Amino acid sequence: MFDADQIKELRRLIGDQVEAGRAELDKLVRHARALTGSVKVIKPRNATSVALMASDGGNNKVAFNPFYVQLVRVVDSSGKELCLEAVSPIADIDDLSRRQFHEDGSPKTALGRLMHGLGVSRLKELSPMMSGDSPSWVQVFRDLCEWATLYDLICYRDYAVDTLIVRDGLLRSKIFAKDYFVRMGEQMFEAIERIHREDKRRVWLVGLAKKTQVLEYYRLAISLSGVFDNGSPCFAKVPKEMLNIYQWDEYTRDVDDESTGEKPKFNFGSMYFVRFGPYSGDPIWTVDLMARQDRDAQAIFGYLQADAVAGFPIPFYPNCIQQADNFSRVADLDLDIVEDYLVDAVRDQVGSDKASVIDALRLASDVAARRYE
């Protein structure tokens, strides 16, 4: 513990640093106040909401996992499974690429259909991070599966009603090679336009993030400026000045920006700050609309707000995302089943004469893993 003298010195040091940052805070408050004229009140609406969510490594870790097998599972908010894969950092990525296609070369999975739409046949072409040089490629593969499922949901499905599709995360990504990410966004927008033209249905795509660099940087300034203190759910488009905190122009520039510099190959979204609750203390989120759907911002946020009011356990956070998160988790009995299958597979590989070794290792792993549950 700190003694009395250390606490006194610590207080002084912290105070000095806060005082030194006061000029920067004042600048951020001025930026936040510039939002005042663009803040709009949300008018609630009713619509079908669909959310996508991929389980992450923390949701499916098993105690005994010598081959580091990870489940990649994507579901929607109704619990329908849209993608299921089992991968390991030691897997052959070229073989994983072939698994996305039938023997005749036609797409077999959602990821295969995305690759076919972009004109690539290997995962290493789709993303430079799928080279296998680092075990982190498993996480990249998971993200690719989520984007592919989103692509598949928009480009290859029919809709009987107007539908809002919600992604947990922004409509931005740096994992794709070349301009594949933007081309994927263009193909999804073309499919949305086709659905509207042929079926007279509207489909909107939204990405919502709990935390973003720009919101964390400006959160205090937004609260101090009081720009959202109007007693109603509201939203405002994030101006370019606020987006300068990001290092990559291609991550923040608008898709139609024709100025010189790097093209926006990592982005097809249009960023907004949104508060779905009526009070100043209610949480503010960062939301990306598909850039070419900006004109429908009022309708989209109206649908989202109606869904967010019912959000639980996170207040004023879209309930469809929370439901998808619950369905996507691999836990409890499902996790035990996964571990049983994994142990059986390892037993088959080592042979029956070594089965007792596997049982002993599993027991030791269980004890260590469950000691702190």
Residue 7 phi, psi (nearest 5): -65, -40
The pLDDT of residue 197: 95
The pLDDT of residue 371: 44
Question: Which residue(s) pair with 289 in the sheet?
Answer: 206, 270
The pLDDT of residue 9: 87
Closest to 156 measured CA to CA, from 164, 168, 148 = 148
Residue 48 phi, psi (nearest 5): -75, 130
The pLDDT of residue 198: 94
| Neighbour tally for 373: CB within 10 Å | 4
The pLDDT of residue 56: 41
Which residues, including other chains, have CB under 8 Å from residue 100's CB and lie 6 or more apart? 107, 108, 109, 111, 112, 115, 123
The pLDDT of residue 368: 44
Answer whether the bond into residue 318 is a cis peptide, omega within 30°: no
Helix axes 297-308, 319-328, angle to 10 degrees: 60
* Rounded-to-integer distance, Cα 305 and Cα 317, Å: 8
Question: Which residue(s) pair with 54 in the sheet?
Answer: 74
The pLDDT of residue 331: 61
The pLDDT of residue 55: 46
Which residues, including other chains, have CB under 8 Å from residue 185's CB and lie 6 or more apart? 171, 255, 268, 290, 291
pTM of the model: 0.84
Which residues, including other chains, have CB under 8 Å from residue 216's CB and lie 6 or more apart? none
CA dihedral 238, 243, 246, 247 (to 10 degrees): 150
What is the chain's pLDDT, residue by residue, as a tens digit (373 residues)? 778 888 888 888 888 887 888 888 888 888 899 888 899 999 888 767 777 655 443 445 555 555 577 888 888 888 888 888 888 888 899 999 999 999 999 999 999 999 999 999 999 999 999 987 888 898 999 999 999 999 999 999 988 888 999 999 999 999 999 999 999 999 999 999 999 999 999 999 999 998 899 999 898 899 889 999 989 999 999 998 888 888 777 788 777 776 666 677 899 999 999 999 999 889 999 999 999 999 999 999 999 998 898 888 888 999 888 888 888 776 655 666 666 666 666 666 666 666 666 666 655 555 444 544 4
Say which residue the tokens 């959160």 belong to: 219
Identify the DSSP state of 161. S
C-beta of residue 62 within 8 angstroms of C-beta of residue 339: yes
Say which residue the tokens 């707000």 belong to: 305
Each domain of the chain, given as residue ranges in start order, spans 40-328, 335-370
The pLDDT of residue 367: 47
Mind giving me the DSSP string for 179-241?
THHHHHHHHHHHHHHHHHHHH---EEEEEEES--HHHHHHHHHHHHHTTT-SSS-EEEEPPHH
The pLDDT of residue 58: 41
* Rounded-to-integer distance, Cα 244 and Cα 261, Å: 14
